[in-house]
Structure formats: structure tokens, C-alpha cells
Amino acid sequence: MEVTNAFRMPLIGDVAPSFKAKTTQGDISFPEDYKGKWVILFSHPADFTPVCTTEFMTFASMMDDFKALNTELVGLSVDSIYAHIAWLRKIKELEFKGMKDLEVTFPLIEDIRMDVANKYGMIQPGQSNTQAVRAVFVIDPKGIIRLILYYPLSTGRNFDEIKRVILALQKADSDGVATPADWRPGDDVIVPTAGSCGTAKERMESQNEDTYCLDWFMCFRREKK
């Protein structure tokens, strides 16, 4: 007998699964309400837990950075809206690594029935049947999933990396390039690999102050500092 799953975990390149949800900032229709914007959709295991609290304080402290990148934040856990509100009020009273008096103004989804968490593969039985893992989905302005990160319950996320990924994806889209390991804004970028012998030969013979090649398949464009 064939067994089918109710949900398939979405993959990079998929259209982001749609849903309607109640949040701490009102009802949302996702991803329709965010058309034209980048979105970081992320889950956390539970309200009033220490790792999650440090993460929310960090996200709240970086909201202006993300908004400057046309990027919105949307959080989720399987707690109730009332637990969310109480927790966010408590966060405003805490101080961590110099961050204090932080108001979380991005929406936090109530997902008591785990409808959204299941659609996005955030419930992973090897970790917990009742809590979402620390998932991160980066969704582009067309509603396409561009990056997926999963962290275990015990490990807080690297927020510099999440911001770096947004910058790298936006650079790749705007310039038609790829970004090398540990790329940061201002670093040289990789141009598309030559698709023919003629192009490869031409590139190797016509390197200039703007482009250079380590080999025919690995050519870079210098970025203006």
C-alpha cells in the first residue's frame, strides 16, 4: 500500500507555501502580503526560553538593517498569541550584550495547531513532536524560497550570516554573478563560467583591470572599493 505524507518539506526554488495566520501584528496572508519584498521566515521552539529570547533580541536590534535591504521578518512558534504578547513584553525589560529596551514589532505567528510549522517542515520528530526547530527560510520578492537553514533546539543562530546571505542573494540577482566563500560586500565576485571553448580562450587572453581568471572556469570581477 502506498503511503503519502500530508506535507512535503519545501525546497530551494519552490514557491513558498501559502497560509493565513494570526500574529502579534494582526492577521497576515503569506506570502501575498509581502510581494515585492524579501522575507526571513523563521521558527523558534517556544516562548520564554533563553536561547529564543537572545535570538529575538538580536533580530529586534537588527530590524533597521534588514528594512534597509527591503527585507521583512516573520517569526513563528507553536505558542498562543497571548503567550507571544506576554513574552515580547518581558523581552522589552531585559538586557543582553548591550541590547535593551527592545520592542519586537515584526509579526510573530500563533501556530498552536502546527499548520504552518508542518507546511514548512519545522516539526522534526528527532528533535521534538511539540516544538519547532530553529528554521530559517529566505524568500525573495517573487515568493520563491532561496535559502533554507535548520538549527537544532540547543543552538542559537548566526545573525551576521543571515544578513550576509540576503546581501549575497541580492548581489547575485542584480549583477548576474555568484559570490565566493565568505563573500562580503565589496569583495570580488565570480562571473558565470564560460560556456564554450572559444569564450574560455577569450577570457584567459583578455584579462584586464576589471576581470581576472585563476583558470578558464574560475573568473572574477573586481569590485570597486
Task: Find cell 514548512 and name the residue.
Answer: 120
- Residue 80, class by beta-carbon neighbours within 10 Å (0-12 exposed, 13-18 middle, 19+ buried)? middle
- Has residue 52 been placed in a domain? yes
184 in the same domain as 204: yes
What predicted TM-score, i.e. pTM, was given to this entire model?
Answer: 0.88
pLDDT digits (tens, 9 = 90+) for 70-84: 999 999 988 899 999
192 in the same domain as 160: no
89 in the same domain as 105: yes
Which of 6-10, 105-109, 180-184 shows the lowest mean pLDDT across its residues? 6-10
pLDDT surpasses 90 at 162: yes
96 in the same domain as 69: yes
Point out the residues that are catalytic: 52
Check whether 164 is labelled as a binding-site residue.
no
- Has residue 162 been placed in a domain? yes
Quick one: CA dihedral 99, 100, 102, 108, positive or negative? positive
Residue ranges making up the domain that contains 181: 176-225
DSSP at 150: E
pLDDT surpasses 60 at 2: no
164 in the same domain as 181: no
pLDDT digits (tens, 9 = 90+) for 96-143: 999 999 999 999 999 988 899 889 988 665 665 556 678 999 999 999
Q: What whole-number distance in Å separates Cα of residue 225 and Cα of residue 207?
A: 19
The total number of structural domains in the chain stands at: 2
171 in the same domain as 123: yes
168 in the same domain as 183: no
